[in-house]
């Protein structure tokens, strides 16, 4: 059974690292969490992700799997009989789930990152609009995917919940630091309620960083993200 031949290289404030952590919890898989120091990448990280040199990396039976959504799909397929299915069972629903996860990573995340590091009222205002428009699209996606239930995945959290939910900690920090509202109870009621339900879920609770702790870490991390973006 599950001996800790499962290791996850990551770091606690990272949104992308949270995704495989939640997935492993959904499947009740025990793992060793190896905290990477962002200031200097470990030899293990460089060896197990030579292409991108980035976290998260899942190391299972000595073999490494990279890219967060790829890792989540691997976890879903490897531990298929342990815990609920993360991706839907129907091929069309799976395609829709993959579509929204792709949208979140390719379109929404880059504009959210812009907002998270924006400085000054004008920059924040300009960065906010596309982020909010994206959330309006995702509100619609939520209605279609959830079909009246609590999560994108239905009764239980699924692929899109994990893909989007991992950003909630940083969304709350951004709201606080930039004095904006991202999830508005009136404008995106579905996502507003979903966010509460997601954070309260047993697979998520222990890995979602506490907002104040994340806000403290953000003070150091945001200047680094800004520096990387301009280099």
Partner 1 sequence: MANDEVILLDFWASMFGMRLRIALAEKEIKYEYKEEEGLITNKSSLLLEMNPIHKKVPVLIHNGKPICESIIGVEYIEEVWKDKAPLLPSDPYERAQARFWADYIDKKLYVSSRKIWGTKGEEQEAGKKDFIEVLKVLEGELGEKPYFGGDNFGFVDIALIGFYSWFYAYETYGNFSTEAECPKFVAWAKRCMQRDSVAKSLPDQHKVFEFIQMLRQKFGIE
**Which two structure tokens, joined as six digits, stand for 197?**
């339900």
Q: Which of 73, 75, 90 is nearest to 8 (CA)?
A: 75
For partner 1, which is the closer residue by CB, 56 or 169? 56
Which one of residues 54, 98, 176, 193 is an interface residue with partner 1 (CB under 8 A)? Answer: 98
Find the binder of partner 1 among 30, 38, 102, 225 (CB under 8 A).
102
Residue from the set 99, 136, 196, 219 that interacts with partner 1 by CB under 8 A: 99
Q: Does 36 bind partner 1 (CB under 8 A)?
A: no
Give 2 or 137: the residue with its C-beta nearer to partner 1: 137
Quick one: which of 30, 33, 25, 21 has its CA closest to 156?
A: 25
Tokens 């104040």, located at residue? 212
Minimum CB distance to partner 1, residue 97 (Å): 9
Instruction: Provide the mask over 53-92, with x wherever binding to partner 1 is found by CB under 8 A and - wherever it is not.
Output: -------x--x-xxx--xx-xx--xx------------xx
**Residue 132 binds partner 1 (CB under 8 A):** no
Name which position in 2, 137, 225, 227 contacts partner 1 (CB under 8 A): 137
Number of residues lying near partner 1 (CB under 8 A):
21
Point out which residues bind partner 1 (CB under 8 A).
Answer: 51, 60, 63, 65-67, 70-71, 73-74, 77-78, 91-92, 94-95, 98-99, 102-103, 137
């Amino acid at each position: 059974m599950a001996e800790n031949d499962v290791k996850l290289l990551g770091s606690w404030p990272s949104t992308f690292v949270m995704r495989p952590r939640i997935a492993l919890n959904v499947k009740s898989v025990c793992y060793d969490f190896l905290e990477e120091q962002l200031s200097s990448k470990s030899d293990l990280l460089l060896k197990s992700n030579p292409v991108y040199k980035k976290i998260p990396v899942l190391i299972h039976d000595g073999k490494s799997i990279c890219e967060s959504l790829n890792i989540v799909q691997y976890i879903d397929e490897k531990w298929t009989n342990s815990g609920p299915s993360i991706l839907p069972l129907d091929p069309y629903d799976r395609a829709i789930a993959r579509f929204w996860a792709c949208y979140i990573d390719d379109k929404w995340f880059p504009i959210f990152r812009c907002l998270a590091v924006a400085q000054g009222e004008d920059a924040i205002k300009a960065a906010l609009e596309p982020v909010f428009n994206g959330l309006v699209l995702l509100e619609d996606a939520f209605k279609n995917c959830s079909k009246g239930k609590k999560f994108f995945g239905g009764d239980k959290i699924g692929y899109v919940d994990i893909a989007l939910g991992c950003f909630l900690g940083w969304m709350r920090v951004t709201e606080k630091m930039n004095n904006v509202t991202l999830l508005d109870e009136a404008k995106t009621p579905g996502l507003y309620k979903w966010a509460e339900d997601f954070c309260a879920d047993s697979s998520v609770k222990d890995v979602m960083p506490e907002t104040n702790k994340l806000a403290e870490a953000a003070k150091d991390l945001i200047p680094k993200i800004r520096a990387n973006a301009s280099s």
